[in-house]
């Protein structure tokens, strides 16, 4: 019984792009960038998820609490609560856009 040692198989990944040369389009292969591995920090995703949840929930909850206090003080129940709740939603959307923009820049 003979054991053979095989050479390790390496796979190269290519992206194919089309280029225009003299009016005709032909494919051209370029090496694809290596995919990035996740960093060694296992809590990274939990941190991002917590940040997103906190940044979404906090403005809406503050809008309801502050709006309820204003409504109780001015006697305008539920106008200020609803207005500040929707303002909180706007702030939450702006915060979410900022988080996504930062995540895209890091990649």
Write out pLDDT tens, residues 39-74.
557 787 888 889 899 999 999 999 999 999 999 999
Look at residue 26 and tell me if it is in a domain.
no
Mean predicted lDDT score pLDDT of the chain: 81
Give me the pLDDT at residue 78, please: 94
Q: pLDDT tens, 75-104?
A: 999 999 999 999 999 999 999 999 889 888
Does 62 reside within a domain?
yes
Provide the residue range defining the domain that includes 100: 44-106
Question: Is 83 contained in some domain?
Answer: yes
Cα 65 to Cα 24, 88, 100, distances in angstroms: 65, 11, 27
Length of the chain: 107
Does residue 14 fall inside a structural domain?
no
Say if residue 38's pLDDT is above 60: no
User: How many domains are contained in the chain?
Assistant: 1
Asked whether residue 86 is assigned to any structural domain, the reply reads yes
Q: DSSP secondary-structure letter at 38?
A: P
**Residue 57 falls inside a structural domain:** yes
**pLDDT the model gives residue 100:** 87
């Amino acid at each position: 019984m003979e054991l053979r040692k095989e050479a390790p198989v390496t796979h190269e990944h290519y992206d194919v792009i089309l280029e225009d040369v003299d009016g005709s389009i032909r494919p051209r292969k370029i090496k694809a960038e290596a995919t990035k591995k996740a960093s060694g920090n296992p809590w990274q995703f939990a941190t991002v998820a917590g940040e997103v949840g906190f940044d979404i929930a906090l403005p809406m909850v503050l809008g309801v609490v502050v709006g309820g206090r204003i409504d109780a003080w001015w006697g305008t129940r539920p106008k200020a609560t609803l207005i500040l709740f929707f303002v909180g939603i706007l702030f939450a959307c702006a915060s979410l856009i900022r988080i996504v923009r930062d995540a895209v820049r890091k990649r």
